[in-house]
Structure 1
Amino acid sequence: MQTLRIKTDGLTQQVLVSGPDDGPLVILIHGFPELAISWRAQVEALGAAGYRALAPDMRGYGGTDRPERREDHTILHLVGDMVDLVRSQGREHAFVVGHDWGAPVAWHCALIRPDMFRAVAALSVPFQPRIPKAPPTELMRALSKRLGLGDFYINQFQAEDAHLEFEADVAGALKRAFYSYDGATPQARRSNGFQSNGQTFLTAVGDDVTLPPWMSEAHFDEYVAAFTGSGFRGPLDWYRCIDLNWKLTAAFQDTRVTVPSAFLVGSSDPVRAYAGQHEAGLKNWATDLRRQMEIDGAGHWVQQERPGQVNAFLLEFLASL
């Protein structure tokens, strides 16, 4: 594997790369709070299988440029970055894979540019259709009130200074995030996304957290160093753009993902508590859904918790194309 810096339109992206220059192009999109290195096992496996695998640090993260304006982190910017990455390789087509926040980006790559992104695989987060009646944060507040579970973390992230809590203790914040969404964490201590009694995404976890079994100290130090340098403002701006995304994607209301697709989720992924409702109807929105798989006992960080199974899933799906 190599780490390259690739200049695209208005952005320089740091990218983890493996595989032959002329291999079929596969782009892997990470989520929050992750980096390209979360795909290390997949980049290696795909490259060894003859694919040209690229995993970028996404806009606002790690070694990639960090735009100052919040409104420069919309879903259209993120899809545009992936289009530019394909073009930077002299290509017209690619397969796209996304995890966590990267999954909605991957779904929208396939939704908006099916001519370029010929297939999509998503981990943890299924395609979530646009709901026309109200912006997402308004619907989330109504859901929180109806369930009586407290504040939903995405609503808390809308605050202008929400990123400062993460930056005050980068190592502590990352450790809490990884612990509270991991499959090895006792179920009672996994996050359900809602915080009560004035708690936040971080304080709700507690102090006695440990690194997940799959996370070495050296690997964790890579995350800490990267986020110490780049901060959390950009990553949280992704969340702070979700209502703007809702406005910008009105033209795609009721549009289906028509390219071949696949979806994988861990059985113990806490995100299923709020995004899992879309799993059952996924085939209605991804009309060429070819495989839907659950990995028993895996949590949210599925490609790092179960790299062998995820590699096999992706390679089988890509080979079928």
Structure 2
Amino acid sequence: MSTYRQTFISANGIRLHVAEQGDGPLVILCHGFPETSHAWRHQLSALADAGYHAIAPDLRGYGASECPSAIGQYTSLDIVSDLVTLIDALGERDAIVVGNDWGATIAWQAALLRPDIFRAVAALGVPMMGRAPMAPSRLFPQSDRAWFYTHYFSIPGLAERELERDVGATLRKIYFSASGDIGARDQDTPNPFGLMPRNGGMLDPLSDPPAMPTWLASGDLEKFVQAFSISGFRGGLNYYRNLDRNWEVQAAFEGLLVQVPALYLVGERDTGLAIPGMQGIIDAMPQLVPNLRDSQVIPGAGHWLQQERPDCVNNALIKFFGEL
């Protein structure tokens, strides 16, 4: 397996660090939280071998990419704008966009708003959703004793203090607890992306595994640890701090459908499937994505799908791309 190239590209007024491999039609790979472009290491090589130019940016605020200081510079429209100008900076006219977790949300929005540029979309984990009836700060649950993790993330500085105390332990706990390796997921399974006690931190209920799963080699984990040791978590957390703003501006696009060809993949043990009503949202996706070509559940896999089951993801992507 050849090694991906790394470079910096100026796009939309900021400097983005990107990993890339191969030549051919352009495929942009968008990571989630807390990840970097290295999360796509298996896809970069497989797509390059299949005849594509695969490029995975560290999204703004992550890894070696610039981290703007203002919270308001991390809306979904900011990230989509980064991708549009990145394509132009590469001298290309269009691309297929692929995303996992937050990257899936960005990929859906990119395909929704600029089908002239993003000619197809593949999303891992997060389905395409219609605009919620109320802002996320009002929609997600909270009480005197517990609150949804997004409320915790929304307070500047609070989550940073906990997550940056020991970056290695933070990533080990989150990666393991959201992976399929934790076992069949039920209401008692520790979930970093669910309800959490108000009187404690996000990491308190999570186990620090004695050994990491086989899909995450020590060298790969260390790359993530090094990246977040330098960047911190503020950039990634700022995405969550714009959930209400994203909801507000989404009103302008109400009623638009994702018209380009689409693929959806989710791990059987993805943390998102534990959210009440999520299966119904997935089942209803064809109403919002009329050209949804396939929707697959990957047995035994968790939230880090492209890392946990790279062969399944690579085969599904290459098959989907080949049929466009």
Task: Report the counterpart of residue 138 of structure 1 in structure 2.
Answer: 138
Letter paired with 2:7: L
Q: Is the 8 A contact 1:11 1:65 kept in 2?
A: yes
* 2:175 equivalent to 1:174: no
Task: Report the counterpart of residue 292 of structure 1 in structure 2.
Answer: 295
Cα gap change, 1:319/1:208 in structure 2, threshold over 3 Å: closer, same or farther?
A: closer
Deviates more, 1:179-188 or 1:97-106: 179-188
Question: 1:60 offset after TM fit, Å?
Answer: 0.1
Q: Is the 8 A contact 1:149 1:194 kept in 2?
A: no
Query: Which runs of structure 2 are paired with 1:298-317 in the superposition (5 Å)?
Result: 298-317=301-320
Question: Counterparts of 2:196 and 2:124 in 1: how far apart (Å)?
Answer: 25
2:180 to 162, 180, 183: 183
May I ask how many residue pairs the two structures share in their alignment?
Answer: 314
Q: Is the 8 A contact 1:135 1:246 kept in 2?
A: yes
Q: Is the 8 A contact 1:182 1:190 kept in 2?
A: no
Cα gap change, 1:202/1:276 in structure 2, threshold over 3 Å: closer, same or farther?
A: farther
Letter paired with 1:135: A
Question: 1:190 offset after TM fit, Å?
Answer: 3.9
- CA deviations on 1:270-289 (whole Å, 9 max, x unpaired) are 11112444111011111100
Q: Is the 8 A contact 1:13 1:59 kept in 2?
A: yes
Letter paired with 2:250: T
Question: Counterparts of 1:149 and 1:100 in 2: how far apart (Å)?
Answer: 27
Question: 1:201 offset after TM fit, Å?
Answer: 2.1
Letter paired with 1:159: I
Cα gap change, 1:88/1:236 in structure 2, threshold over 3 Å: closer, same or farther?
A: same
- CA deviations on 1:29-85 (whole Å, 9 max, x unpaired) are 000000101001001110111101000000000011100000000000000011011
Task: Report the counterpart of residue 99 of structure 2 in structure 1.
Answer: 98
Q: Is the 8 A contact 1:164 1:232 kept in 2?
A: no
Question: Counterparts of 1:294 and 1:102 in 2: how far apart (Å)?
Answer: 18
Question: Counterparts of 1:63 and 1:47 in 2: how far apart (Å)?
Answer: 23
Question: 1:89 offset after TM fit, Å?
Answer: 1.2
Name the SS of the counterpart of 1:45 in structure 2: helix
Question: Counterparts of 1:121 and 1:77 in 2: how far apart (Å)?
Answer: 20
Question: Counterparts of 1:59 and 1:138 in 2: how far apart (Å)?
Answer: 27
Q: Is the 8 A contact 1:2 1:17 kept in 2?
A: yes
Deviates more, 1:185-194 or 1:155-164: 185-194
Question: Counterparts of 1:149 and 1:180 in 2: how far apart (Å)?
Answer: 22
How large is the RMSD of aligned CA atoms in angstroms? 1.6
Question: 1:314 offset after TM fit, Å?
Answer: 0.2
Name the SS of the counterpart of 1:184 in structure 2: helix
Letter paired with 2:305: V
Task: Report the counterpart of residue 45 of structure 1 in structure 2.
Answer: 46
- CA deviations on 1:145-204 (whole Å, 9 max, x unpaired) are 5xx993110111111112221111111111111011010113454416111362332112
> Unpaired segments of 5 or more residues in structure 1?
none
Cα gap change, 1:277/1:154 in structure 2, threshold over 3 Å: closer, same or farther?
A: farther
Task: Report the counterpart of residue 274 of structure 2 in structure 1.
Answer: 273
Question: Counterparts of 1:292 and 1:315 in 2: how far apart (Å)?
Answer: 15
Q: Is the 8 A contact 1:176 1:209 kept in 2?
A: no
Q: Is the 8 A contact 1:175 1:209 kept in 2?
A: no
Task: Report the counterpart of residue 157 of structure 1 in structure 2.
Answer: 153
Name the SS of the counterpart of 1:42 in structure 2: helix
Identical positions, percent? 40
What TM-score does the superposition give when structure 2 sets the normalisation length?
Answer: 0.93
What TM-score does the superposition give when structure 1 sets the normalisation length?
Answer: 0.94
Q: Is the 8 A contact 2:190 2:205 kept in 1?
A: no
Task: Report the counterpart of residue 202 of structure 2 in structure 1.
Answer: 201
Cα gap change, 1:208/1:199 in structure 2, threshold over 3 Å: closer, same or farther?
A: farther
* 2:14 equivalent to 1:2: no
Q: Is the 8 A contact 2:145 2:198 kept in 1?
A: no
Cα gap change, 1:37/1:171 in structure 2, threshold over 3 Å: closer, same or farther?
A: same
Query: Which runs of structure 2 are paired with 1:60-71 in the superposition (5 Å)?
Result: 60-71=61-72
Task: Report the counterpart of residue 221 of structure 1 in structure 2.
Answer: 222
Question: Counterparts of 2:209 and 2:294 in 1: how far apart (Å)?
Answer: 38
Question: 1:128 offset after TM fit, Å?
Answer: 1.5
Task: Report the counterpart of residue 257 of structure 2 in structure 1.
Answer: 256
Letter paired with 2:293: R
Question: 1:17 offset after TM fit, Å?
Answer: 0.5
Question: Counterparts of 1:276 and 1:66 in 2: how far apart (Å)?
Answer: 35
Cα gap change, 1:93/1:77 in structure 2, threshold over 3 Å: closer, same or farther?
A: same
Name the SS of the counterpart of 1:249 in structure 2: helix
Task: Report the counterpart of residue 285 of structure 2 in structure 1.
Answer: 282
